[in-house]
Amino acid sequence: MVNLTIDGKQITTSKTSTIYEAAKENDIYIPVLCYAKKLLPYGACRVCLVEVEQMKGRLIPSCTTPVTEGMVVTTMSDEIKKVRKTVLEFLLVNHVVDCPVCDKGGECDLQDLTYEYEVVTSRFEGEKFDLPKDEANPFIERNMNRCVLCGKCVRVCDEVVGYGSYSFINRGFETKIATAFDRGLDCEFCGQCVSMCPVGALLPRPFKFKARPWQLKEVNSVCGYCGNGCTVTLGVKDNEVQTIRFNDETGVNDGNLCIRGRFGYSYVNSNKRLTKPLVRRDGVLKEASWDEAIQTAVQGFKDAGEQVGIISGARLTNEELFLVKNLSKALGTENLDHSGGECYKGVTEGLLETLGVRASTATFPLVEKANAILAIRSDFYETHPVFGMVVNQAIRRNEAKLSIIADKFGKLSKLPNARTLLHKPGLELNVLNALCHVIVEEGLAKTEGLNGLDELKAALKEYSAETVAELVGGDADAIKQTARELAGAENAAIMLAYGLPYTAYSKELAIAAANLALLTGIAGRQGSGLYLCGEKANSQGAIDLAILPGGKGMGAQQMLAAAGSGELKALYLVGEDPLVSYPNRSLVEKALEKSFLVVQDIFLSPSAQMADVVFPAASFAEKAGTFTNAERRIQQLHVGIKSPGEAKTDFAILQLLLKELGTSAPATPAEAFKSLAAETPGYEMVSLDMVGPQGYVWGGDNLEPELKQLVPVAGAQPLADKYQLLVGSALYHSGTLSTHAKGPNAAVAAPYIELGREDAAELQLVNDDMLKLKTVEGEIQAKVKVDRRLPKGVFFTPYHFAELELNKIYSGQPAIAVEPVKV
């Protein structure tokens, strides 16, 4: 600790702080333009100049100067004021003063400082910038005439996002921020630069000319897309979410968001939303009253007796899931499941068998301090972009060693010094086993307290790095290197994403990852963690609340099969669209056709179109409740807008159903939370008051494993087929919901089939050609996208789009053998 004096106030602060940080901690105001909490100090704007008695004779930039013992700092004097004013005058020489039409007006740092320092005239004259605007993309509008060259966008894109879109070009007066070759911006459009820009040089295009900042009501909530659980602040005006505001004070994401969080909100305002309940009469879905819809649904459930199945989505709040569970009890059925049933088996069964827990063992911020990181499946960044940014920060700040077990390259592979352990499709398990083998063979394993080590050792015999490398087409030395790094690191992280497009051997994969975590001591060690991250906003909540088949109950796949054969009479889908997103379309189609189907959704999804009763539900922006994110952080949602038409929150709909069934239901989500906390392991001690702006992590930062059981898992054999199709997530989308949002659709509007350059050349395909993929079960066709991510013979397609009908050929297998035909 260091003692210093700022403006006569005695301050003790950590020795790594800068003067600015020390002042800020103690509520002493120093103006800044180029400083940002999450970026490294830069010192570009010279607005934060202060006087330090020990360094008399010149002014010191407070944001880059570390504190020293006995320092005496003055933050305001006539001289400082004069210099700051001059700096502002210099900035305003070329800066176009178009505040009336600039959307930043009202929250512009330069505007505020100009007002504060009363810069009403300028002693200098110069030409105003007249640079062309970049409006090529639909997300980020760049107007370099307003730029003050603070470099925040350059730094955030490099330090946090790891994309590196921007750089300073030219010299002197000509200096400006530009993209590669000064062309239009073409990046992953996370909008991090927009949130950082202190002036109006970078603005969100969807919000262009929509409103002034002071007109917006700010509502803190949680993003409804992925399991990362980023807090978002909705900017609400006229009962519409107008934009997502920058807020780095709440949550775990430090103000970082991805394209979905920042630009994917528009579906909540969509005019295609369901506004009235629908009931099928004479074969046609017709608008009905709530009373009629509820009665029809309950009558249908009653007619089915015990033969009712409930499949829930994982974007419901904990409170709503609690009611779903109550409903299943009221209906007397144990057929309850969520998200396809297969995809989360890794957490519910794999981790339970090995570690005795059903959640990630550590929190996201710990990854920032990790020395070695292993990502399983390259899609991790695509499913959880903001967690991916934390990984990037670990690499930049901490020189963490990142390895990726992947069947294709992705964003993570591009990060500095990332090592990609490339393998043929479907062989993740083999590579994980090889890593375990190396650790055991080289005596690096931390074997204390582990059960089943001998069995594992015996089973790992066939998985030496060399054998596996040969089988999967990888590099044995790279595997060994990764294993040594993981075993030797003080803090390490293993990350695996699960979700609907990754249903194959999810349990085995989790077991293999847990084996590795146990051998390296990652599981349960302070600062290290095994992360199993759910695809949807409340995947972890659904598991915590056990939205799972009870004793004799059927899982989702069995339910669909049973419904198809007529055994199950009624199905209730809450926020799920199995027809598009579940594997095996014919099975789902048959099930939905044959059963009495009740669907609760915000859009008339393909599954809802087959329903007998449709309930219009509410989006995340319209409800209160809690989500539990992939690191077990419980966070609160707040009501931002009213639901359109007669749509009700899932909570209200479930209340109505429960009442119609003659059972009581909690009156408010807060009451429901109390009841669910009492019943849910891990939540017992949690009350809503504890769920503050940063949320509340149940089980603590490091969740102690209850078991340390090694379980051998067998690897797979590669498919022999020449062409194989991988199914996964695209960065710009999440589930099927994002295909209703303008933002993600502006980036990727239609399904595509991605292939590598070699394949493209061989098949004589270029971008936007139509390609048909044939299999025994059927065929799909979509436009071609050629790039460098995929190895030869491997195709990739995202699963989000209804029109692709991917599940005609996808039935949960890790890779699909296909025959490409150019159309």
Partner 1 sequence: MFKEFAKGLSITLKHLLPGNCTTVQYPKQKLEMSPRFRGLHRLVPTQHREKCVACYLCPTVCPAKCITVESAENEKGEKYPKVYEIDLLRCIFCGYCVEACPVEAIEMTDAYELANFKREDFNFDKERLLKS
Please pick, from the candidates 1, 8, 56, 100, the single residue that binds partner 1 as defined by CB under 8 A: 100
Interstrand relation of 633-637 and 696-697 (parallel, antiparallel or unpaired) = antiparallel
Query: Least distance to partner 1 from the beta carbon of 112, Å?
Result: 16
Single out the segment in contact with partner 1 by CB under 8 A; choices: 98-106, 241-249, 264-272, 531-539: 98-106
Nearer to partner 1, 210 or 446 (CB): 210
Query: Least distance to partner 1 from the beta carbon of 165, Å?
Result: 23
Phi, psi (degrees; rounded to nearest 5) at 93: -60, -50
Provide the β-strand partners of residue 72: 5
Q: Is 452 left (phi over 0), alpha (psi -120 to 50) or beta?
A: left
CA 344-348-351 angle, 5° bins: 110
Query: Least distance to partner 1 from the beta carbon of 133, Å?
Result: 8
- Considering only residues 12-41, where is the footprint of partner 1 by CB under 8 A? none
CA 685-707-503 angle, 5° bins: 90
Nearer to partner 1, 242 or 655 (CB): 242
Query: Least distance to partner 1 from the beta carbon of 741, Å?
Result: 21
Query: Least distance to partner 1 from the beta carbon of 136, Å?
Result: 13
C-beta atoms surrounding 353 within 10 Å:
15
Nearer to partner 1, 132 or 692 (CB): 132
Cα-only R_g, the chain: 28
Nearer to partner 1, 238 or 819 (CB): 238
The site map against partner 1 for 128-167 (x = CB under 8 A) is -----x-x--------------------------------
Please pick, from the candidates 99, 149, 450, 661, the single residue that binds partner 1 as defined by CB under 8 A: 99
CA-nearest of 389, 591, 569, 405 to 483 is 405
C-beta atoms surrounding 98 within 10 Å:
13
Nearer to partner 1, 1 or 101 (CB): 101
The site map against partner 1 for 103-122 (x = CB under 8 A) is --x-----------------
Nearer to partner 1, 10 or 271 (CB): 271
Say if residues 488 and 740 touch (Cβ distance below 8 Å).
no
Single out the segment in contact with partner 1 by CB under 8 A; choices: 93-101, 545-553, 662-670, 696-704: 93-101
Token duo for residue 373: 């990181």
Query: Least distance to partner 1 from the beta carbon of 242, Å?
Result: 12
Nearer to partner 1, 144 or 763 (CB): 144
- Considering only residues 177-236, where is the footprint of partner 1 by CB under 8 A? 208-212, 214-215
Tokens 């429901």 correspond to 672
Say if residues 635 and 626 touch (Cβ distance below 8 Å).
yes
- Distance, CA of 376 to CA of 460 (rounded, Å): 19
Single out the segment in contact with partner 1 by CB under 8 A; choices: 53-61, 95-103, 294-302, 635-643: 95-103
Chain centroid to Cα 440, Å, comes to: 34
Single out the segment in contact with partner 1 by CB under 8 A; choices: 96-104, 157-165, 294-302, 631-639: 96-104
Query: Least distance to partner 1 from the beta carbon of 111, Å?
Result: 12
- Distance, CA of 137 to CA of 204 (rounded, Å): 10
Nearer to partner 1, 105 or 550 (CB): 105
Query: Least distance to partner 1 from the beta carbon of 202, Å?
Result: 16
Query: Least distance to partner 1 from the beta carbon of 237, Å?
Result: 11
Dihedral of CA 550/556/557/561: which sign?
positive
Phi, psi (degrees; rounded to nearest 5) at 17: -70, 160
C-beta atoms surrounding 455 within 10 Å:
12
Token duo for residue 403: 């390895």
Provide the β-strand partners of residue 755: 786, 795
Nearer to partner 1, 3 or 215 (CB): 215
Say if residues 270 and 241 touch (Cβ distance below 8 Å).
no
Query: Least distance to partner 1 from the beta carbon of 106, Å?
Result: 9
Provide the β-strand partners of residue 231: 222
Query: Least distance to partner 1 from the beta carbon of 209, Å?
Result: 4
Nearer to partner 1, 15 or 133 (CB): 133
Single out the segment in contact with partner 1 by CB under 8 A; choices: 33-41, 97-105, 794-802, 804-812: 97-105
- Distance, CA of 511 to CA of 341 (rounded, Å): 17
C-beta atoms surrounding 692 within 10 Å:
11
Nearer to partner 1, 263 or 627 (CB): 263
User: Using CA atoms in the order 287, 288, 289, 294, what is the torsion angle rounded to 10 degrees?
Assistant: -120
Query: Least distance to partner 1 from the beta carbon of 717, Å?
Result: 58
Nearer to partner 1, 133 or 329 (CB): 133
Q: Which residues contact 267 (CB under 8 A, 6 or more apart)?
A: 273, 602, 603, 619, 737, 738, 740, 741, 742
Helix, strand, coil percentages (3-state) for the chain, rounded to 5, are 35, 20, 45
Say if residues 68 and 4 touch (Cβ distance below 8 Å).
yes
Query: Least distance to partner 1 from the beta carbon of 135, Å?
Result: 7
Nearer to partner 1, 146 or 152 (CB): 146
Phi, psi (degrees; rounded to nearest 5) at 55: -125, 50
Single out the segment in contact with partner 1 by CB under 8 A; choices: 94-102, 271-279, 446-454, 618-626: 94-102
Provide the β-strand partners of residue 628: 634
Is 668 a binder of partner 1 (CB under 8 A)?
Answer: no
Query: Least distance to partner 1 from the beta carbon of 407, Å?
Result: 44
CA-nearest of 516, 531, 537, 316 to 436 is 516
Query: Least distance to partner 1 from the beta carbon of 259, Å?
Result: 22
Nearer to partner 1, 181 or 209 (CB): 209
Nearer to partner 1, 263 or 380 (CB): 263
Number of residues located near partner 1, criterion CB under 8 A = 13
Single out the segment in contact with partner 1 by CB under 8 A; choices: 100-108, 147-155, 513-521, 591-599: 100-108
Q: Which residues bind partner 1 (CB under 8 A)?
A: 99-101, 105, 133, 135, 208-212, 214-215
